[in-house]
Structure 1
């Protein structure tokens, strides 16, 4: 399995970075994990700003030459892994800017007759690992599960990725957050899948 990890946290001393290391360790020790690429959006200085004007049209975004390397990464991967914090009830703007540009019409989906498009990323799987300061139930109780719906339904299912695993970890700044246990859980998942 070829895995592309999209890492979206600016601090390499963060818990998100520790999760990245556990994903890499699990993949490295898993005999079924063929290759892994890491896209660190902040280190890459990815430009999350979406621009449309006379020269850059939305309908042509899937052909933007500046984004070709990122399209190749997504095409190459069997599995996409997103690692990010939840800030203000949603992923960071850096990750959302990547999504806006990369999951474009005629690359990630194609419009067709009927209410739903044809997902062009069928056959791939995805894993989302998110951390938040608030309690684990916060997204469900106060946000109507918005972070999960955004990533799983509104994005991944929309583009044809139906096999999606969500790890949502709350209370991550608390001394009682059981961070070591959660890091081990992620490591074990990637060790066996």
Structure 2
């Protein structure tokens, strides 16, 4: 298995970075994970702005040379792990900007006759590890599960990725947030991951 981790948090002295380290540690101890790449969007200084005009058309984004290396990472990976906070009920603008550019027509999906497109990223799977200040069930009870619907239905299923696992960790700024237990849970999950 080839794993790509996409880390989206601006501070390395943080709980999100500890989750990243536990994913890396668990993957290195899992013999089924043969290769690993880490993309830190802030450290990479990824430009999340989606720009197109008469010279740079949106329909040509799948061939944009400025993001070719990121397309190669997605093509290469069997499993993609996203680590990010939930801000205002959704992932950070940095990650959404990455998604806007990378999950483009003729790379991630292809329009065809009918209601739904053909997903071009079939066979891949995703793990979303997200943290938030509010309670764990806040997105489900207050926001009608908007985060999961956005990520699973509107994005991953649209591009052909059917296997999506979520870890939504709430109360992460509370002394009673059980941070160490949640870090261990992620480490154990990645360490025992089979496919």
Tell me the CA shift for residue 122 of structure 1.
0.2
Which residue number in structure 2 is paired with residue 107 of structure 1? 107
Matched ranges for 1:34-49 at <5 A: 34-49=34-49
Tell me the CA shift for residue 14 of structure 1.
1.2
Tell me the CA shift for residue 93 of structure 1.
0.3
Distance of 1:61 and 1:88 partners within structure 2:
28
Partner secondary structure for residue 143 of structure 1:
coil
Which residue number in structure 1 is paired with residue 29 of structure 2? 29
1:94 aligns with 2:103: no
> What is the root-mean-square deviation in Å for CA atoms of aligned residues?
0.5
Deviations 1:4-41 (A, max 9, x none): 00000000011110000000000000010101100000
**So what's the TM-score if we normalise by structure 2?**
0.98
Partner secondary structure for residue 191 of structure 1:
helix
For structure 2, list consecutive stretches of 5 or more residues without a partner in the other structure: none
Distance of 1:157 and 1:77 partners within structure 2:
17
Matched ranges for 1:10-159 at <5 A: 10-159=10-159
For structure 1, list consecutive stretches of 5 or more residues without a partner in the other structure: none
Which residue number in structure 2 is paired with residue 189 of structure 1? 189
Matched ranges for 1:165-184 at <5 A: 165-184=165-184
Tell me the CA shift for residue 141 of structure 1.
1.1
Runs of 4+ in 1 over 2 A off after TM superposition: none
Distance of 1:3 and 1:154 partners within structure 2:
23
Partner secondary structure for residue 140 of structure 2:
helix
Tell me the CA shift for residue 152 of structure 1.
1.1
Deviations 1:151-172 (A, max 9, x none): 1111111100101100000000
